[in-house]
Structure 1
């Protein structure tokens, strides 16, 4: 069994996770990063993607939507705009958000609006993929 450390995941609306874990893998702005107990301290920007939590040799996966992660040797704090377990994801709402984002991309507006639409599309796709992987839709 791997040595555990404390993980706290906070969003503006709730404490998503607060407990000991063996390992996490999270999407950062530069790709996926794995963290185990004793990891070198760092602060990193999170991207739109997934948060995988390993506890008692079992992985759970959630969608995560940007934020920051502070890593210390014996604890990790994640502050994120939104984090959802697969069973919390409203797939029809995510599908509607995907369609809206695709339509905004087709309209070819300003560079700023394009970047926002791409991020919205990425969030919707991650939510849909995480939900479908675990909900057997």
Structure 2
């Protein structure tokens, strides 16, 4: 018996299918969600969502958000999310370079601009490491 999983970013549905398990990077730690899981609502931290269906795994970066877990469904509303296989590594590296450059110019001042640049750096670094790791066949479920 599968559990339905939806990963939704601010601009699109990133993933939608029935799966065997969903592994989420919750604020309190990594959690595995199986069919008939107890209902819960959790915030997500930057990390990797893993979904497994019939032994095949797919990986998605997530940059924060919330997940609602019901016995037959997991709905993830992500601040930003994408399939690791869709990551353009060159664009992610360029985004990291721009964020690092901006942070060096701004300094360590707690402004909106600084926080936005810091978030851009975290997201681009996550995307780069996920693409490098998960495209090489290294991970196991829950990795990330």
Unaligned runs of 5+ in 1: none
What residue is the counterpart of 2:142 in the other structure?
none
In 1, Cα distance between the equivalents of 2:11 and 2:116? 22
The 8 Å contact of residues 14 and 83 in structure 2, kept in 1 or not, is answered as no
- Using the TM superposition, give the Cα deviation of residue 75 of structure 1 relative to its aligned residue in structure 2, in angstroms: 0.8
Q: Which structure's residues are more often strand, by fraction?
A: 1
1:69 and 2:67 equivalent? yes
- What aligned pairs does 1:1-137 form with structure 2 within 5 A after superposition? 3-106=1-104, 107-112=106-111, 113-136=113-136
Could you report, residue by residue, the CA deviation over 1:19-74 in whole angstroms, capped at 9, with x for unpaired residues? 11111112223332211112221111112111110110222111112111000111
SS state of the match for residue 107, structure 2? coil
What secondary structure sits across from 2:36 in the alignment? coil
Q: CA deviation at 1:13?
A: 2.0
The TM-score with structure 1 as length reference comes to 0.85
Gaps of 5+ in 2: 137-144
Q: Quick check: 2:19–2:53 contact (8 Å CA) kept in 1? A: yes
In the aligned structure 2, how far is the partner of 1:135 from the partner of 1:59?
12
* Count of aligned pairs between the two proteins: 134
- Taking the aligned partners of 1:135 and 1:57, their CA distance within structure 2 comes to 17
Q: What TM-score do the two structures reach when normalised by structure 2?
A: 0.81
